[in-house]
Structure 1
């Protein structure tokens, strides 16, 4: 059990340092590590855990906690979550303090402008992963298109979109 916890800590602490834009930015690598490298979950199990993490309220890193739980119970959930949060939180705290002290430097705006598209690209890669995982069925594809259309064209609360999509998904799977 200790070696599994150490593996979880190693994987998630590394991903923590790459997760510009949140845990969804490293979702493709998280899936590769969990499914292909460590065999902690099958592709179907991983997609189920991801779906559950997105349906649950709370931070987008819930997949990390659920995967840790799946692999090693409560200890795995704690280790995975702490390993994902602690390194980046520590670096963010230090960087914020340093960044604030350098706020009058002209190069600061250049660095911010350079990091923003990288972060957006990583988040977009996570979105593509989620779309691929959700389009395994025609119903999933229809729900994605409907949710995207609502989000882009109407001022609909995200919880309403989530509730409607979940209800549609449940109704169609029970038929």
Structure 2
């Protein structure tokens, strides 16, 4: 498998596709582990840089996988990695949605929906911790992220762009007060 990078991309990303409860961010920790620590496709620093590019570019944040595929095997790798992440979950969602609404309102249906919510939140939180850890985020980063999460939990209808703007202002003000090297 290590001899065939395209097969390795499929083996890594298809399972992530099927367990991405909560969306792309829920699998970032696992993707980081596989691409940096297991397969050594990229360094921790390169992973953070690709993550930043994927988040800044239009489209889903899980396009990080496309960039990783490109690093591993060029354009073919980018296509294979993208398809490996998006096709299996799309097929599964289509199949499940065909029967899901039929059982709406039943006790097991409600229990399953309620049980998956904290799992998705926990997986997303694990992804945040993984990215912060390998990025070497300082106390200021943790404080801004934590404060943002608290404000959004307290005021869920608040526009997240206002939180982003407030975080940027805090960073600029604090960085302006810190003397340079």
- TM-score per shorter chain, which class? 0.7 to 0.9
CA displacement at 1:158 relative to structure 2: 2.4
2: distance between equivalents of 1:118 and 1:160?
25
Change in Cα spacing, 1:162 to 1:67, as seen in structure 2 (3 Å) is farther
> Does the residue aligned with 2:21 lie in a helix, a strand or coil?
coil
Identify the residue that residue 109 of structure 2 maps to in structure 1. 108
- Indicate if the aligned counterparts of 1:150 and 1:156 stay in contact, CA closer than 8 A: no
1:97 to partner: Cα distance: 1.0
How high is the TM-score relative to the length of structure 1? 0.80
2:125 alignment counterpart: 124
> What is the root-mean-square deviation in Å for CA atoms of aligned residues?
2.9
Which residue in the other structure is 1:64 paired with? 65
Tell me the distance in 2 between the aligned counterparts of 1:18 and 1:38.
20
SS in 2 for 1:125: helix
> Whole-Å Cα distance in 1 between the matches of residues 105 and 111 of structure 2?
12
TM-score by length of 2: 0.78
Aligned position for 2:164: 161
| 1:11 partnered with 2:12 | yes
Q: How many residues align?
A: 168
Query: 1:87-142 CA deviation, whole Å, 9 max, x = no partner?
Result: 111111111111112224222111111111111111111121222234x255xx43
Query: Structure 2 vs 1, CA of residues 147 and 124 (structure 1 numbering), >3 Å: closer, same or farther?
Result: closer
Structure 2 residue ranges without an equivalent (≥5): none
Q: Per-residue deviation at 1:11? A: 0.7
Structure 1: runs of 5 or more not aligned: none
Q: Which residue of 1 aligns with 2:42?
A: 41
Q: CA deviation at 1:28?
A: 1.5
Note the C-alpha offset of 1:2: 8.3
